[in-house]
Amino acid sequence: MTADVPKEIERVLISEEEIAAKVAELAKQVDADYAGKEILLVGVLKGAVMFMADFARALSTPVSMEFMAVSSYGSSTSSSGVVRILKDLDREIADKHVLVVEDIIDSGLTLSWLLRNMRSRGPASVEVVALLRKPEAAKVNVPVKYVGFDIATEFVVGYGLDYAERYRDLPFVGLLRPEVYSTSG
């Protein structure tokens, strides 16, 4: 199925079909690695919602799901590494196999903080699955076991990723036309 591409999108970077294939591939790897165990998926709001929903359904391993919302201090385009919890986990994660689900790793600062925070709660293990990563934007080195796609440092939206809270609902990942983010407030 080919989705309509809004005019603000310069081009589709990763199609719906490519995302679906990658989600299945990542789920297969995770199923193999966690055979006989249960996984606690921790989705990071809001960007990870689409990926979390598809990834959870692609897994055969039994999972439970938790969500966390965090906000980094500083401008919306560059995170500072200082993170504030907007919504914490609802449950303890001690002795659980935690798999943090992220839509994108940019500077890595959010994830770096989040991993420290998760580890301090005494889980049996903590790993990360991220659909997208921008290796050239990394400010800290974060160990990420499962990565879908490494992409260039460009402004991407869709499949959970927003610009000013829009475009999260696009079924693909696309490049936003520069005039969209250079002309608005």
Q: Please identify every residue annotated as catalytic.
A: 106
94-95-97 Cα angle (round to 5): 110
Q: Which of 101, 107, 127, 167 binds ligand PRP (CB under 6 A)?
A: 107
CB of 76 to ligand PRP, least distance (A): 7
CA 50/CA 110 separation, integer angstroms: 19
* Window of 45-53, 58-66, 84-92, 149-157 that interacts with ligand PRP by CB under 6 A: 45-53
CB of 130 to ligand PRP, least distance (A): 9
Of the two residues 38 and 169, which places its CB atom closer to ligand PRP in the complex?
169
Question: Tokens 């200082």 — which residue?
Answer: 82
CA 47/CA 177 separation, integer angstroms: 20
Q: Give, as ranges, the residues between 109 and 148 that touch ligand PRP (CB under 6 A).
A: 109-111
Look at residues 10, 52, 57 and name the one whose alpha carbon lies nearest to residue 157. Answer: 10
Stretch 76-105: interaction string toward ligand PRP, x if CB under 6 A: ---x----------------------xxxx
Residue 76: Cβ-neighbour burial (10 angstroms; 0-12, 13-18, 19+): exposed
For ligand PRP, the binding residues (CB under 6 A) are 44-47, 72, 79, 102-111, 162
